[in-house]
Amino acid sequence: MDEEQTAGYREPCGVCSAVDWGVSDEGRFYCRSCHNVIERTREVVDPTFTPGSSRISTIGRGTRTKRPERGRQWVICEGFQFILRNQANALLKLGVSPRFKDEVLCQLWRIYLQKSRQAYTNNPVRTATFKVRGQDSDSDSAAEMSVLSASETDGDTNASSTAGSIAGSSSDWSQCSGSLDAASYLSARLRRSRHGLMSMKKTLALLHLALVWIQEPLTLSDLLRLVNEGHVPYVNAYEELPEEMKLKGKDALIFRVESVPSHRAVHKEAQTLILFLQLPAFPPISQQSLLHPALLSLRYLMDANLPDDLHPWVCRVMECAGMADQALHTFNRLLRPVLPRYDLQTAALIIVTMKLVFGLDDHTEWDLSNEAADQDATGNAFSVRRWFRLVQTALTSAQRRREQHVARKQWTARKPLHPNSKKKCVVMKRKRIAEQLQICFEKLSSRPAGAEQDAPSSFRFCWGDGDGADGPSMHQQQLDAAVTLQRDVLTPSNSTYWHPSLRACKPRKCRSHYSAVEDTLPRSFVWLLRLFCFLLDVPPESLYEETLRTERRLTGHRRRRNREEEEGKREEQGGRGGRGGGREKNREEEEEEQRE
Amino acid sequence: MDDLQRELLEDLDDDSDSSDGNSSKGSKKSKLPLVNPMCAETPKETGFHQSTRVCLEQIREALLHHRWQEAAEYMACYPQMLEDPTNGTGQPYKELIWRISTEILHHHPNSKMEDYNNIYERMKHSGVRHYLMICLEHSFHLLLIGHIEDAKHQLSVAESWRHGKESAAQYQRIKLIHAYRSLLDYIIWCDKKFTRSNTEYPDSGDNQDMHNYFRQASVNLKEILKNPGVWDPFILSYVEMLEFYEDHEEALKVLNDYAYDSTFPPNPNAHVYLYQYLKRHDTSERKLMKVLKILHVLVPSHELMLEYSSLLLQSEKRSDIQKALGVVMEMLDFACWRSNLDVWERLKSIIQKLQLQEDWKDVVSGQMAARKDWWPALHFTSFHASKDSEENPELMKVKAPLTKILCPDLMLKYTASQVTSGE
């Protein structure tokens, strides 16, 4: 039997009762044993039809009865399972350790299924009937999932009230969605909290949690960048599901995405997920871990072409702000139920360090640069002016490249998925037109559509002397004029430190005053902020708020809550009073200029 | 259920996504009726919409700076906009894509005819509202290249298009299509006439063929001429065909209607065409003058005014001579006739004829009364003198004595200048 051509048509032949169909040249079905030709024809859809050549293509009459799909029945979380697996494989290919997939992600997924009562539970949330059909009763998926039979309904009143409607509509499930429980997935959302049910955004949140657990140096912004560049499947990830799982109808509402979610959104999702899953305390993130600011800042300093000599300063600021402690960075459900944003925190630390050493008030840094230029004998002194010019040119071309990437990115799938099955022909027609136009212009411009995929890299810029470098490297330069030796301790020459009002906004009322305040901030600071925003791909407001938070910690600014935390921190700082760090901090407090 | 689905779709992206950029409440909405820009960023924009919006901006920049290769590259990435699932009919984008694509094809060095055909056919069938316009543009393009038969074929296909309410709403475009198809028939008729006149043995079959085209063309041309508008090429072609078949009555009627129908917008060309036709067919001077009189009112600086003035000069009536003077002076009011020898000579001959009357001085001063202030500056300055003496000495010879007659009181500097040293 020509499986491909007959597409699973399994009705017995009227004459000889055999099920052995073939397709003749004209596209008609015929029984191979008795050569009985039936009225069924194979639909001919020719995408390469060029108008202007008057060729008539045969039009099939279509099926009379809705033939059962040759796929198998599947549920939504199975689909997500496959997608997660593909994403994990992609990450493994990029160099993440295999423990990530086997030990951590799998386990997290199972915990999730259990907590959301979609599997590994005695009372499942879904009541879609898993009627055993004649041919394809293969409901045993490859993954280790325990599938429960239909008759078990749970005692949940919500679910039982939907049971009637679901059971009624389950007989025609094949018409509104490819999966069994898409309808219940979507309707149950309204009635219960959203946290239980899976979404594409949650896959990223799960990945992020797993990465944090094993302390891979892949931060959330790195993960999102890999997704944006296409190294990790996300947009149109459903296309890689196995053939037997057919998607249509309402599945589109769940699996189709039109945006890559923002940093804030995924972080929030991860936060709620972590609480929902009631995970135990994470493995502690010590100073040796690559997610800790002590080591993560090295990477960011290198990416921003800042001298390595700045790293000790970053560490000192970190200690002063009380951020060296691993407890701050480790998620603990009882003691510290906040998932830290490692990338933002580290970037904020670096910005505060730059402010400390160079002032960044539109005057000090240029004065220091002048001094460096005047006094520099070896040519090895770091000058903010030279650094700014270098990085600015690289930044503008990188921003232009990113914009081109955004413009050229193709979002549409090869097999479009539309919630409304009736509109499918319209969708297909538009797709054909779009494809033809695309081919025409690809030929004209001799350049294929779509953004070119860059090689994956943790770094945005490449500094050095090689080919393709964005500029010469300043990592080996020294902070000659910027720091001086005072009482045997290295201190910055710059003796003032400015910061805007540190009063925290009420969390519910407003999120950030950045756009109101931006015009009053020094341009160097704003530029540095935007540099790191580009590196991390976050909006300036987030990074600005994180900088303020760091400054609050640094200055011991009181907050309404967490007073014990403040007390604890001050004790730590008091303990370090003997060293240069504490003294320096006191001096800052004396001479700080508050700027509104 | 659709509303529910839409709500769920919005539900699916968390609200935490939305206000990343609009944290401050300070953004005010403008109260003026501004055009809704297509390239503006909306707050809740999906990644897909952002990509297409940025792509469109890049295309626009490339077009404005004439970077055609770059525009073509981005245009290859843009058609995904047509597949936008949230967009209803995608109407404005279809038109956008059509027009931008053709613009790029016009200028790109590698564009071929098949590309044009491809784009036109695709965009035609992408929707109903633009079908007729695209057909028309397609046939224009073929016409410009010289594929007359193809152009006609396109329009014939378009003529037979019916689509319910849409075709009823676009009846004016359909009329245009009929008219242009007839024009194409006329062009083919011209070709056949030309080939027929060149062959030694004219075939009667050819004649019949020509006549068929004539009949096909004239039906629609007659129709379109009933609508108020400017139909210059159509009327010329129609009249030419009618003249060939010696249907003078019809031709005259058509021209008269075109020129004198008050529902039509004022069109000087109509009178020109009528005049030229009448001249070809030896009409009396009275009639010719009548036509030119209206043209004079419409366009005093028309070149036919010269002929008008000569007609007036040849007539015997006194008033006509004075009218002739008025006509020529009104011509000279316009700077384009300033250096024209014929006009000045006509003025000279008119004045000469006028001088046979007694009150010629009054007539002249009457005409010059309104012009005394600015005519000298327009015609008779020393700059003009030097220019004319160098470039156009004959003109100077004609103009110089006229200065005395036209402006007897003024001391004008329009004299033969002394040749400066250096010759």
Give the three-class secondary structure for B238. Answer: helix
Distances (CA, A) of B97 to A432, B56, B100, B115: 15, 10, 5, 14
Q: Which residue of B has its CA nearest to A199?
A: B12
Q: Please report which confidence band the pLDDT of residue A145 belongs to, taking 50, 70 and 90 as the band edges.
A: very low
Distance in angstroms (rounded) separating the CA atoms of residues A117 and A113: 6
Do A536 and A351 touch, CB atoms closer than 8 A? no
In Å, how far is B142's CA from the nearest CA of chain A?
Answer: 14
* Contacts A50 to B, Cβ<8 Å: 118
Q: Tell which phi-psi region holds residue A12, choosing left (phi > 0), alpha (psi between -120 and 50) or beta.
A: beta
Q: Which of A496-500, B8-12, B407-411 has the lowest mean pLDDT?
A: B8-12
Q: Which residue of A has its CA nearest to B67?
A: A445
* Residue from B80, B91, B135 to probe the interface with A (highest A Cβ count within 10 Å): B80
pLDDT given for residue B82 in this prediction? 86
Pairing of strands A489-492, A498-499: unpaired
Q: Is the pLDDT of residue A141 over 80?
A: no
Distance in angstroms (rounded) separating the CA atoms of residues A181 and A127: 8
B225 close to A (CB below 8 A)? no
Residue A411 φ/ψ, nearest 5 degrees = -105, -15
Distances (CA, A) of A260 to A107, A220, B162, B191, B256: 25, 13, 44, 62, 69
Distance in angstroms (rounded) separating the CA atoms of residues B238 and B220: 10
Of chain B residues 98-157, which have a CB less than 8 A from chain A?
101, 104-105, 108, 110-111, 115, 117-119, 121-123, 125-126
Q: Is the pLDDT of residue B55 over 90?
A: yes
Residue with more model confidence, B3 or B93: B93
Section A53-80 average pLDDT: 63
CA B372-B377-B380 angle, to 5 degrees, is 95
What lies within 8 Å, CB to CB, of B259 at 6+ separation is B267, B270, B271, B273, B274, B291, B294
Nearest to A296 by CA among A218, A387, A223: A218
Section A499-503 average pLDDT: 81
Q: Is the pLDDT of residue A113 over 70?
A: yes
Distances (CA, A) of A426 to A432, A510, B83: 10, 44, 10
B72 close to A (CB below 8 A)? yes
**Domain range list for chain A:** 2-41, 76-277, 293-401+472-552
pLDDT given for residue B273 in this prediction? 92
pLDDT given for residue A477 in this prediction? 86
In Å, how far is A81's CA from the nearest CA of chain B?
Answer: 19
Token pair of A78 as six digits? 């199975």
Q: Is the pLDDT of residue B336 over 50?
A: yes
In Å, how far is B159's CA from the nearest CA of chain A?
Answer: 17
Residue A593 φ/ψ, nearest 5 degrees = -105, 125
Do B163 and B128 touch, CB atoms closer than 8 A? yes
pLDDT given for residue B422 in this prediction? 41
Residue type, A528: L
Give pLDDT tens digits for A288-321.
Answer: 888 888 899 999 999 999 999 899 999 999 988 8
Do B275 and B252 touch, CB atoms closer than 8 A? no
* Contacts B9 to A, Cβ<8 Å: 253
Residue with more model confidence, A592 or A75: A75
Nearest to A256 by CA among A210, A303, A199, A206: A199
pLDDT given for residue B221 in this prediction? 86
Of chain B residues 15-54, which have a CB less than 8 A from chain A?
16-17, 19-21, 23-24, 26, 46-51, 54
* Contacts B20 to A, Cβ<8 Å: 262, 264, 539, 541-542
- A2-41 topology per CATH: N-terminal domain of TfIIb (2.20.25)
pLDDT given for residue A130 in this prediction? 47
Q: What ipTM was reported for this prediction?
A: 0.73
In Å, how far is B69's CA from the nearest CA of chain A?
Answer: 6
* Contacts B97 to A, Cβ<8 Å: 437
pLDDT given for residue A223 in this prediction? 94
Q: What is the mean pLDDT of chain A?
A: 76
Residue type, B108: H
Q: Which member of A261, A427, A512 has the closest CB to residue B17?
A: A261
Give the three-class secondary structure for B116. Answer: helix
Do B100 and B38 touch, CB atoms closer than 8 A? no
Q: Highest mean pLDDT: which of A323-332, A562-571, B298-307?
A: B298-307
C-alpha R_g of chain A: 30
Token pair of A465 as six digits? 């002397």
Instruction: Report the residue count for chain B.
Output: 423
B83 close to A (CB below 8 A)? yes
In the numeric block, the tokens 């501004």 are attached to: B34
Token pair of A248 as six digits? 């249509």
Token pair of A428 as six digits? 């297909």
Q: Please report which confidence band the pLDDT of residue B4 belongs to, taking 50, 70 and 90 as the band edges.
A: very low
Q: Which member of A411, A438, A444 has the closest CB to residue B51?
A: A411
Do A388 and A527 touch, CB atoms closer than 8 A? yes
Q: Is the pLDDT of residue A583 over 50?
A: no
Q: Which of A554-558, B9-13, B17-21, B297-301 has the lowest mean pLDDT?
A: B17-21
Q: Is the pLDDT of residue A167 over 50?
A: no
Residue type, A134: G
In Å, how far is B174's CA from the nearest CA of chain A?
Answer: 22
Q: Which of A225-239, A385-399, A496-510, A514-528 has the lowest mean pLDDT?
A: A496-510
Q: Highest mean pLDDT: which of A158-162, A570-574, B193-197?
A: B193-197
Distance in angstroms (rounded) separating the CA atoms of residues B402 and A353: 91
Token pair of B45 as six digits? 């924009």
Q: How far apart are the first and last CA of chain B?
A: 95
Q: Which member of A268, A408, A445 has the closest CB to residue B55?
A: A408
Q: Which residue of A has its CA nearest to B59?
A: A407
Asked if the Cβ–Cβ distance from B49 to A447 is below 8 Å, we say no
| Cβ burial, residue A338 (10 Å; 0-12/13-18/19+) | exposed
Name the DSSP class of A29: E
Q: Is the pLDDT of residue B369 over 50?
A: yes
Q: Is the pLDDT of residue B15 over 60?
A: no
Q: Which of A245-249, A504-508, B94-98 has the lowest mean pLDDT?
A: A504-508
Asked if the Cβ–Cβ distance from A406 to B8 is below 8 Å, we say no
Q: Please report which confidence band the pLDDT of residue A60 belongs to, taking 50, 70 and 90 as the band edges.
A: low
* Contacts B79 to A, Cβ<8 Å: 433-435, 437-438, 441
Section A170-191 average pLDDT: 61
Q: Which member of B17, B123, B126 has the closest CB to residue A262?
A: B17
Asked if the Cβ–Cβ distance from A52 to B117 is below 8 Å, we say yes
In Å, how far is B132's CA from the nearest CA of chain A?
Answer: 17
Section B186-212 average pLDDT: 80
Section A132-136 average pLDDT: 36
Chain A and chain B share a number of CB contacts under 8 A equal to 165
Q: Is the pLDDT of residue B255 over 60?
A: yes
Residue with more model confidence, B104 or A23: B104
Asked if the Cβ–Cβ distance from B76 to A438 is below 8 Å, we say yes
pLDDT given for residue B191 in this prediction? 86
* Residue from B77, B116, B134 to probe the interface with A (highest A Cβ count within 10 Å): B77
Residue A334, CB-side half-sphere exposure with 13 Å CA sphere: 2
In Å, how far is A115's CA from the nearest CA of chain B?
Answer: 21
Token pair of A557 as six digits? 């600014």
Q: Which long-range contacts (CB under 8 A, 24 or more apart) does B234-238 make?
A: B234/B179, B234/B182, B234/B183, B235/B270, B235/B273, B236/B273, B237/B183, B237/B186, B237/B187, B238/B186
Distances (CA, A) of B255 to A407, B237, B273, B319: 56, 12, 7, 29
pLDDT given for residue A176 in this prediction? 63
Do A581 and A320 touch, CB atoms closer than 8 A? yes
Name the DSSP class of A416: -
Give pLDDT tens digits for A450-469.
Answer: 888 888 888 889 898 888 88
Of chain B residues 194-213, which have a CB less than 8 A from chain A?
none
Q: Is the pLDDT of residue B18 over 50?
A: no
Asked if the Cβ–Cβ distance from B17 to A407 is below 8 Å, we say no
Q: Which member of A407, A444, A447 has the closest CB to residue B51?
A: A407
Q: Highest mean pLDDT: which of A10-14, A64-68, A160-164, B13-17?
A: A10-14
Q: Is the pLDDT of residue B421 over 90?
A: no
What lies within 8 Å, CB to CB, of A32 at 6+ separation is A1, A18, A20, A21, A22
Distance in angstroms (rounded) separating the CA atoms of residues A81 and A491: 54
Section A156-172 average pLDDT: 37
